[in-house]
Chains A and B, each alone.
Chain A
């Protein structure tokens, strides 16, 4: 039984929020919604229950997308949310930031910032080699990749230089600090994957025991 609730949004940036107690909370501002229900999938029709939500204004749609959306708003991004509560949704229904309230825990998914092809130090936090004792030409080199004739090959999965970032990442259990339903803003404690103006996917946290406890308390 899956009853996920989620939104798509745009990362606006980070700031800090003052609480009356004097505490300062670092927050990420996310413009979450308005999202539209663009498709409802059912077991009978598709083999599983889900809703598809759309967000953002598309500059241009392909004919396929235009046909799929029909009279619905021309959204730029589509995502599916697995939920068995499909009867609660109607096509074209608007889901906005009011889905979340202060104190909720959310999981935020985004494409992390791309750092390009990075060496071992930046990518895997390797230590630097000495700058003296004859090693000054290889301070940022990664060192040995293993023994010689035995085993005769490089271990699979060995940490090496390569592409860093620009992968899908999810941060779990981030607290909702503030919600502005009018402007569809959600302020989440801490940092969120991805660049400013990047697309993020917010869902009510459900994975960890902390999130479960929170939900039980609320119900």
Chain B
């Protein structure tokens, strides 16, 4: 990638901390409803992190009503993301937690890990 293209990448959002797979996060995303704008919170587990310059993104999975899994992928540099809060970290042994899709209930839990410098 040339320096010119790198220079066009917008600055990182300071309100998005470093995310790890297995983190439970609250994503505050701005959405437009009719002609009104409001902030919608999406809370769930980070199951995927992609670090690829402008295209960097992360995917959050949450269990909606009736036990239906909902996944939402956010672009890290999108101006529509207000902030991201990390609520807890989990002990995970892989980067992509796709196995959570086939688990439900108690099996879909991840063991919490306390981070010292976070």
Binding site for B on A (CB under 8 A): 12-13, 15-22, 24, 29, 31, 183, 185, 187, 196
Contacts and interface: CB of A to CB of B under 8 A. Distances in A.
Contacts of B95: none
A16 B8 CA distance: 9
Nearest to A183: B4
Given A12-B5, A13-B2, A31-B4, A20 B79 contact: yes
Question: Interface of chain A, helix or strand or loop or mixed?
Answer: strand
B87 to A, nearest CB: 25
B4 A22 contact: no
A185 B4 contact: yes
A18 B78 contact: yes
B113 interface: no
A15 B77 contact: no
Given A29-B5, A185-B4, A15 B79 contact: no
- Please classify how large the interface on chain B is, using the bins under 10, 10 to 19, 20 to 34, 35 or more: 10 to 19
Interface string B56-82: 000000000000000000010111100
B1 A13 contact: yes
B5 A15 contact: yes
Given A15-B5, A183-B4, 12 more contacts: A13-B2, A15-B53, A16-B55, A17-B8, A18-B75, A20-B79, A21-B32, A22-B30, A22-B79, A22-B80, A24-B75, A29-B8
Contacts of B9: 15
A18 B9 CA distance: 10
A183 B4 CA distance: 9
13 contacts: A12-B5, A13-B2, A13-B4, A13-B5, A17-B8, A18-B10, A18-B77, A19-B79, A22-B78, A22-B80, A24-B75, A31-B4, A185-B4
B54 A15 contact: yes
B55 A12 contact: no
> Which are the 10 A-B pairs with shortest beta-carbon distances?
A22-B80, A12-B4, A15-B5, A13-B5, A16-B54, A18-B79, A15-B54, A20-B79, A15-B8, A12-B2
Contacts of A31: 4
A17 B75 CA distance: 12
